[in-house]
Amino acid sequence: MNEAKQAIGAGIDRVDGRLKVTGRATFSAEHHIPNVAYGVLVQSTVPKGRISSIDSSAAGAMPGVLLVMTHLNAPRLPPHKPSGPDEQPPTPRLNLLQDDEIKYNGQPIAVVVGDTLEHAQDAARRLRIRYTEASGAQAAVLNFRSARQHPRKPKPQPGRPSDTSRGNLAGGVARAAIKVDAVYTTPLENHNPIEPHATIAVWEGEHLTLYDATQNISGVRKAAVKTLGLQPAQVRVICPYVGGGFGCKGTTWSHVMLAAMAARQAGRPVKLVLERTQMFAPVGARPMTEQRLLLGAGENGKLTAIRHDTISSTSFQDDFSEPCTAPTRMLYDSASLQTTQRLATLNPGIPTFMRAPGESSGSFALESAMDELSYALNLDPVQLRLLNYAAQDPEKQLPWSSKSLRECYRLGAERFGWERRNPQPRSMRQDGQLLGWGMATATYPANRRPAKASVTILPDGSAVARSGTQELGTGTYTVMTQIAADGLGLPVARVRFELGDSELPEAPVSGGSQSVASVGPAVYAAAQAALAKLVAMAVADARSPLHGARADALQARDGWLTTAGSGDSRDSFSDILARNGGQPLQADSSAAPGDEKRQFSAHSFGAVFAEVLVDPELGTVKVPRMVGVYSVGRLMNRKTGYSQLMGCIVWGIGMALLEKTELDPRSGRALNANLADYHVPVNADVGQIDVQVMDEADTHFNPLGARGIGEIGIVGVAAALANAVYHATGKRVRDLPIRLDQIIDR
């Protein structure tokens, strides 16, 4: 069977774009549920201790209040029963009002349910709560600098070692003519998606439906099954659209299960939406890191030694390890290397995945250190990276599945005008401002998991494809429609893609830049299977113009089956089905990784170039332009793909210059828990962004040749900007975010 590919790669408009711009796309808090009540989360105001009393009498007596659920009256949850010897309890451990212990400031300690949101909010303010706060040797640990003095190793994780080494590090250091040994830090950062975390819980007898803002509908379903003691058939999770997630919606947090518990106890559906300030403790954040980088190189610029030691913040409630050393282990060719990962345990909430976890923080340290080394060697930063280019994965000793990083450096430098750079710090000016140019390398692993899909050809000749994945705003509806259309030989306008329902074929979490790489092959395989059934139907039908034709000689195009090379013999999809009962034709399929990980190392790569203007008197930093060129496999949609990469670069600007969650050192509470004080880039902060993608298809990684692009674009941006600031000012900033007091002339 021959098929003509037309849609994949085209920069078509989002198929859900009109729904979004007209306000008709339904997000999780917007589903119209009859008789819905409103839940309000109440949070602790101390970082550690116990609840000594909760007086809910006044709140419970207020008009419209249906329920005040605390640890005193919350339903007791069944103990977790592992289904196998290796299964672990749901993580991170949830705060579901099962006891009076306080583990962090902002921990959920009550849910108030009212017939209106205003009634519930008013009653929540009337709760009278007293604490016995931990003190002395048991007091909360809130200072990262103190906690890092007592680091510990993370819990073992399969495939993610905390420590790695190769070669003779001491010998490599001794051979080095030039060394860079520096410490870099990154702060606590919060995700701040525009759509807050939101859940509507609806019970119908023993069946639970959760309308949840999530990156992982299957994960929410599994969490509900484990937490509430239900069977999978009793839980349905629906999420047609996500208004931003960036990692924080990849985990099932406490409010989801609390909404379900409150709805059951109140006897009504309950909608629970976190306020903006409530999103700074119980739903994760990017952890703080302190990273020490040692680079040793010969006078020729070849690396002889790399050591990368990281300490990242975690919580007493559960571990989360930020894998900052992951890019260091594989990006550059060095015969000797050593990395360590340690944790500093604190009492704020549990950290979690945030866009390019590990790679974004780790690349700031690694790529800043490489820039420092380039100056110490008097080598161009691009040339230094080319001298240490890894032709194969130096950690796994495997060939790359595909890699066009050399071309990324070349094209990026060309588009940026890198050859015009004067390498001396403070040597370039523009309009009275200090002009700085910097660059960095980007990398992110290619991830893929098993996924399922179904495709149905309808009697009118159109088709619907289905998979239980998620639309985060990245273009999943559009890309999967393109993939299904090419797999069927149909125009995009004749294909509809459905997602966001746990009753659809199971797909993995939309995290780790893996949705397209995982779900796309399953959708394409299902489309091809459905088409094969249609072809078999046609060639077996004596009434068809294609009767008796060889299946492999037919081509599907624009809703017709034709004999290859000639349009004289053809039959439409709708006519074939009409003559054979007029019923829909469905095919199911799945796709999963094979043994390619044992044969190849799969990563995406990129080169990032940044320009900054620094006011020599005020120390303010502006970013007039950035260039990013990427090797990400085959791009499924040029328009949505470029949009993702540009959005990542914008976030990288925020990481470099703006973002930091400020914790009160006495209480552990976020002091800037709003979008007025937690600064993120706006239009005025962002200049010209030039994004390019190399033309390649990584068919060693999956049949479509596609790798993920949702995260690589942020990697290296903070370092490129920090390097540009050094070039402009001669002042090396090793602590993010870069602020004017760090670079102003004194």
Instruction: Please tell me the predicted confidence (pLDDT) of residue 567.
Output: 60
**Looking at the domain assignment, is residue 186 inside a domain?**
no
Percent of the chain scoring above 70 in pLDDT: 97
- Provide the domain limits for residue 478: 2-25+449-592
**Looking at the domain assignment, is residue 80 inside a domain?**
yes
Percent of the chain scoring above 90 in pLDDT: 95
DSSP states of 49-97: EEEEEEE-HHHHTSTTEEEEE-TTTSPPPPPP--SSTTPPPPSSPP--S
The end-to-end CA distance of the chain, in Å, is 72
Own/partner long-range contacts of 77-80 (Cβ < 8 Å, ≥24 apart): 77/227, 77/228, 77/229, 77/261, 78/228, 78/229, 80/226, 80/227
Q: What is the DSSP code (8-state) at residue 664? A: P
133-190 pLDDT, tens per residue?
A: 999 999 999 999 999 999 999 988 888 899 999 999 999 999 999 999 999 999 999 9
Same domain membership, residue 517 and residue 557 = yes
Residue 743 above 60 pLDDT? yes
Residue 612 above 80 pLDDT? yes
| Mean pLDDT score, 58-62 | 97
Instruction: Please tell me the predicted confidence (pLDDT) of residue 158.
Output: 84
Instruction: Please tell me the predicted confidence (pLDDT) of residue 568.
Output: 77
Same domain membership, residue 621 and residue 540 = no
* Beta-bridge mates of residue 296: 179, 305
Same domain membership, residue 326 and residue 231 = no
Same domain membership, residue 432 and residue 297 = yes
Same domain membership, residue 264 and residue 117 = yes
Instruction: Please tell me the predicted confidence (pLDDT) of residue 526.
Output: 98
Task: Return the number of other C-beta atoms located less than 10 Å from residue 630's C-beta.
Answer: 30
The owner of tokens 């939101």 is: 198
Exposed/middle/buried for 293, CB within 10 Å: 0-12, 13-18, 19+? buried
Same domain membership, residue 633 and residue 504 = no
The residue from 280, 303, 338 where one domain ends is: 280
**Looking at the domain assignment, is residue 71 inside a domain?**
yes
pLDDT band at 60 (very low <50, low <70, confident <90, very high): very high
Same domain membership, residue 313 and residue 420 = yes
Average per-residue pLDDT for the chain: 96
Q: Compute φ and ψ for 393, nearest 5 degrees.
A: -65, 115
**Looking at the domain assignment, is residue 374 inside a domain?**
yes
Q: How far is CA 106 from CA 122, 223, 279, 284, in A?
A: 19, 22, 9, 11
Instruction: Please tell me the predicted confidence (pLDDT) of residue 92.
Output: 62
> Three-state DSSP class for 24?
coil
Same domain membership, residue 636 and residue 543 = no
Instruction: Please tell me the predicted confidence (pLDDT) of residue 176.
Output: 98
**Looking at the domain assignment, is residue 657 inside a domain?**
yes
Same domain membership, residue 582 and residue 703 = no
390-399 pLDDT, tens per residue?
A: 999 999 999 9
Catalytic residue (one of 359, 506, 611, 711): 711
pLDDT band at 84 (very low <50, low <70, confident <90, very high): low
The owner of tokens 């200090």 is: 434
CATH number of the domain that residue 562 is part of: 3.30.365.10
Q: What is the pTM of this model?
A: 0.97
The residue from 257, 280, 303 where one domain ends is: 280
Buried b (16+ CB within 10 A) or exposed e, 70-108: bbeebeebeeeeeeeeeeeebebebbbbeebebbbbbbb
Phi-psi region of 619 (alpha: psi -120 to 50; beta: other; left: phi over 0): left
Same domain membership, residue 587 and residue 610 = no
Instruction: Please tell me the predicted confidence (pLDDT) of residue 745.
Output: 75
Residue 403 above 60 pLDDT? yes
Task: Return d(Cα 712, Cα 473) in angstroms, integer.
Answer: 17
Q: Which two tokens stand for residue 678?
A: 């937690």
**Looking at the domain assignment, is residue 174 inside a domain?**
no
Instruction: Please tell me the predicted confidence (pLDDT) of residue 418.
Output: 98
Q: How many domains does the chain have?
A: 3
Same domain membership, residue 226 and residue 78 = yes
463-495 pLDDT, tens per residue?
A: 999 999 999 999 999 999 999 999 999 999 999
Is residue 206 part of the annotated active site? The answer reads: no
What does the CA dihedral 217, 223, 226, 229 come to, rounded to 10 degrees? -70
**Looking at the domain assignment, is residue 173 inside a domain?**
no
Same domain membership, residue 576 and residue 526 = yes
**Looking at the domain assignment, is residue 160 inside a domain?**
no
Nearest to 90 by CA among 221, 183, 185, 207: 221
504-513 pLDDT, tens per residue?
A: 999 999 999 9
The residue from 566, 592, 618 where one domain ends is: 592
Nearest to 305 by CA among 105, 457, 168: 168
